Amino acid sequence: MRLTNVAHLRLPFGRLLGYDVTVGPLGRPLPVSFDQRRHVGAGDRAGSWMALSFKLSQPVPPDELAAAWLAVIARHGTLRSVFVPGDDGEPRLHEVEILPGDWALHPIAPGQAVNDALRDVLDRACSPYSRPSHRLCVLETAVGPTVVVAADHAHVDMWSMLVIARDLLAALAVVRDGRTASLPPAPAFAEHTRALQDRPSAPADVRRRWAEVLAASGEVMPRFPLPLGPATLQQERVEVRDVLDVDDSAAFSAQARDDGVSTLALVVAAMTEVTRALAGTPLRAVFPVHSRYDSTWHDSVGWFITNSVLESADPDPRASAEAVKEAVRMGSWPLEDVLRPWGGMPEAPGMFAISWLDLRRLPVRVDAAGLEAQYVGATIRTDGVMLWFILDESGLHLRCRYPDTPEARRHVGTWLDTLISHVQSRASVGGRLRLGDRTFRVQRAGRADVPALVALLSDDEIGCTREGAEMARYEEAYDAVARDPSHYLAVVRDEDDRIVGTMQLTVIPGLSRGGTTRLQIEGVRVAAAERSHGVGTAMLEWAHEHGRHRGATLAQVTTDRSRERAHAFYARLGYGNSHVGLKRAL
């Protein structure tokens, strides 16, 4: 999913509409979380929101979209709550009734970019004390609407935006079918706040580590380790980078698995190495962690994010994995109590934060590619560095926000360039198969590899009878495979760059088995001289990881009935002979 901010958002030109709901009087008070109090306590301001945009495939009457939106609001308690300033200056949260309203046309001035018009709307409608502080907008075009859902950060996180999009689409389908939209209730975020407040205090060792990390950071939250220029709010600079494509992402994850760590830990290892090389210090950063500790909250909307601190001094992947594990534990206790000795979160100019979200592992999913969905951040002034990583079926992406000063451009830019180079170099390592003291490389086949692949396909008792067409036919087939990104025609090369293996991997989405995505494995061949040495097993393990990183949860393979050795090989890898495969000529 594309991760951007409103200044870089890709929007079509059209009529910009916003839905004005009707808000009732203040109802019963609700508990305010530590992070909500900190965020809302900073006061009304532009740019405190986050949004998700997506395209619908056909026009939708505004009244149907409004009905679906009201069903989403009815499901999620935080969307039916508003903040008000208390007499003591502390924010108060109250339940309110949300009733139907009207659509408003937001004019786009001559020469004004659609992005700027949308930003103006969201800055006004989605500030902390707005009533409500969320907004449904739609850009009407001839080919279909682009929907933008936004809310002040006090009410949502990135996971919540996916929940909202999924629920809105589900409710819209019901409405379009002529029925009244009604979604099952979900636990409200206020219940989570109460549950968190009832948790016991953090143990002594957690408090001690917080104190040690903050002391090493000058008794404030960790700051970016290189100069950023004046320690005042500056116009932000935002960089959006695609770090790894789907193939390199699979290779990087394979390398992480070989190292015995998670993909996140391997990225932290790279950040640790870069920070030590450029700044001569350990990596220290604010590290947001989610607080959806159990499945109770998976379908809820709210700010289920709290902050921890990450300190990683050793770039060894296993050491970085331990640092991540420690950070998650440090963020698993109520922060208000932990940070009381500092009078709350001790923020300071230059604060450095690193956020990580693996969309492939979330229990909430939307068709981000089909919807052309984009996470959208607001435009703000900043004095710190915020780094977001998103890992999805298309690869690893990042967005970085930092002050737009000459010093920050030079130092943050160099840090990012070096980090991306390190991550990409580890991805190339992850495309390798290690067998004892030998190393093989897995990569996409090129057109020049076609003759060698045909030779491999022909080099057995069955293949020699069915291969042998003109090379031009194979080259045409290669072109068709290479044009379709769902296919991965792999070659395996040895230390001398000789092709010793091949396989074709195809990711197949489907409706059966609850919408299971399958990995189809075809044309697995290993050169005769390399057979029975573990190359085939290593290739299949690599293929499985490739499938997982593209959303597949089931691998399937067909092999000729007469290939008894192949049957035994696949059985050893866990494949069950549970189905009958049928073929016929066309």
pLDDT 10s digits, 205-236: 999 999 999 999 999 999 999 999 999 999 99
State the helix-helix crossing angle for 317-330 and 263-279, rounded to 10 degrees. Answer: 100
pLDDT attached to residue 249? 87
Report the half-sphere exposure of 459 (CA within 13 A, side-chain side). Answer: 17
Residues 6+ apart with CB under 8 A from 59: 140, 144, 145
The CATH class for the domain spanning 433-573 reads alpha beta
Distance CA 289, CA 306 (A): 6
pLDDT (tens digit per residue) in 495-542: 999 999 999 999 999 999 989 999 999 999 999 999 889 999 999 999
Helix (H) or strand (E) holding 422: helix 406-430
Reduced to 3 states (helix: H, G, I; strand: E, B; else coil), residue 574 is coil
Please state, for a pLDDT cut of 70, what percent of the chain lies above it: 99
The domains of the chain are located at 2-192, 200-368+379-428, 433-573
> How does pLDDT run across 9-44, given as a tens digit for each residue?
888 888 999 999 999 999 999 999 999 999 999 999
* DSSP strands (E only) in 301-345: 305-312
Confidence band (pLDDT; 50, 70, 90) for 479? very high
Q: Tell me: cis bond preceding 132? Omega within 30 of 0 counts.
A: yes
* Res 144: pLDDT: 85
What is the mean pLDDT of the segment spanning 554-570?
87
Averaged over 72-91, what is the pLDDT? 96
> Is pLDDT at 99 greater than 90 in this prediction?
yes
Mean pLDDT of the chain, nearest integer: 93
What is residue 583's predicted lDDT score, i.e. its pLDDT?
77
Band of the pLDDT at 283, cuts 50, 70, 90? very high
Q: Is the pLDDT of residue 419 over 90?
A: yes
Burial tier of 533 (Cβ tally within 10 Å: 0-12, 13-18, 19+): middle
pLDDT for the residue 463 = 65
With bands split at pLDDT 50, 70 and 90, how would you rate the model's confidence at 352? very high
Per-residue pLDDT at 555 exceeds 90: yes
In the DSSP assignment, the letter for residue 280 is S
Q: Is 200-368+379-428 the same fold as 2-192? A: yes
- Look at domain 200-368+379-428 and name its CATH class: alpha beta
Please report where in the chains the tokens 């945009």 appear, as a residue: 53
- Spatial distance between the Cα atoms of 123 and 252, rounded to a whole number of angstroms: 39
Give the contacts of 135 (CB within 8 A, at least 6 positions apart): 18, 19, 121, 122, 125, 126, 149, 150, 151
Which tokens in the block code for residue 351? 């604060």
Task: Summarize the confidence of residues 102-119 as an average pLDDT.
Answer: 94
Query: pLDDT digit string (tens) for 149-186?
Result: 999 999 999 999 999 999 999 999 999 999 999 999 99
Distance CA 196, CA 206 (A): 17
Q: How far is CA 177 from CA 42, 135, 171, in A?
A: 44, 25, 10
| Contact status, residue 70 vs residue 100, Cβ threshold 8 Å | yes
Q: Using CA atoms in the order 315, 403, 352, 119, what is the torsion angle rounded to 10 degrees? A: -120
pLDDT band, very low/low/confident/very high, at 467 (cuts 50, 70, 90): confident
Confidence band for 347, pLDDT divided at 50, 70 and 90: very high
pLDDT, tens only, 227-260: 999 999 999 999 999 999 887 888 888 889 889 9
Residue 5 has what pLDDT?
A: 87
Three-state secondary structure string covering 78-98: HHHEEEEECCCCCEEEEECCE
Phi and psi based region of residue 421 (left: phi greater than 0; alpha: psi -120 to 50; beta: remaining): alpha
CB 224 within 8 A of CB 382: no
Question: Which one-letter DSSP state was computed for residue 512?
Answer: H
Quick one: tokens of 450? 């076609």
Highest averaged pLDDT of the listed ranges 74-78, 287-291, 460-464? 74-78
Which CATH code, of 3.30.559.10, 1.10.3720.10, 3.30.420.10, 3.30.70.580, is assigned to 2-192? Answer: 3.30.559.10
| Statement: residue 428 has pLDDT above 80 | no
Tell me the residue ranges of DSSP E strands in 67-157. 81-85, 91-95, 98-106, 134-140, 146-152
pLDDT at 430: 62
Give pLDDT, residue 118. Answer: 96
